[in-house]
Structure 1
């Protein structure tokens, strides 16, 4: 437990910050969830793209959340749970992850899906589709942040694995950027 909000806890063996390790765990879980559910999301918008390029774009959304919003959420929930019993912390982390990633899915992912579906099919997601998308994202956010809290300290000591998973996430997100640029440039022409 940090002595103040400016203190960064590190694993004593590798020096890897525990919050970074937690974020890598969350990013990995969210990326795997994005790949697993990409077919579900694609069917919501009428299969307007091929599955593999679409999966890369969905992973981009997950990785962007993890490294843009994720650190702030981890810092907030850590501050919130400083005096909480250890056995309840994973649940608190999970709730914050569910709220954050659910809102991200509702706003960002639904916007991405509508930006592809509307020009191609002339329709946008229904309220039921947006609710299903939000619940799906909230479930993955809960799981990711609960696992991040439960295993973050132990994972921080496995520097090679952590760096390897981080590199995989970055590469998949970069490919998602390339695919997204190609899709949207094709829509613009």
Structure 2
């Protein structure tokens, strides 16, 4: 099985596991399989008090059985060597909330046996972008930094004067083929500033 197929298999298995959690939470939800809607950032539609919420699930599937305090939000990446805007500031995405799935643990060493547990943090996309803009980290500023970083020898954790050490930084993954530049943010900080909340476990 190719790496791409393995990733799709992981995502499918995780989706089934998460559906069980959403049922526990008594959510009225529909999982989306339409590729056009998925490309717009919709993995899930939740109906709550008569309002539809468009959810993009983001899971740390590369860090199974690990507990990370941060999550990375994609600013840009390369596709076939060409620069592409990442999902955080992509205006083609219609996502209302990110469901950040972290602390994912397996029942056994074999992923086919299923997942044992995880944490889910809901992030309001509009609140997050507005907060970042208010502290001087809107796309206009970050896009300039993006160009500078990609033409330098900086990599991995890059401090930002706008954020304290335990709030976040930029993270440039030069070791990956797509060379993504991400905004790495601490989950506790996102909850503290009111743009996110833990929805599972309670």
TM-score by length of 1: 0.27
Greater per-residue strand proportion: 2
Greater per-residue helix proportion: 1
TM-score by length of 2: 0.25
Say which structure, 1 or 2, has more relative contact order (CA 8 Å, 6+ apart).
1
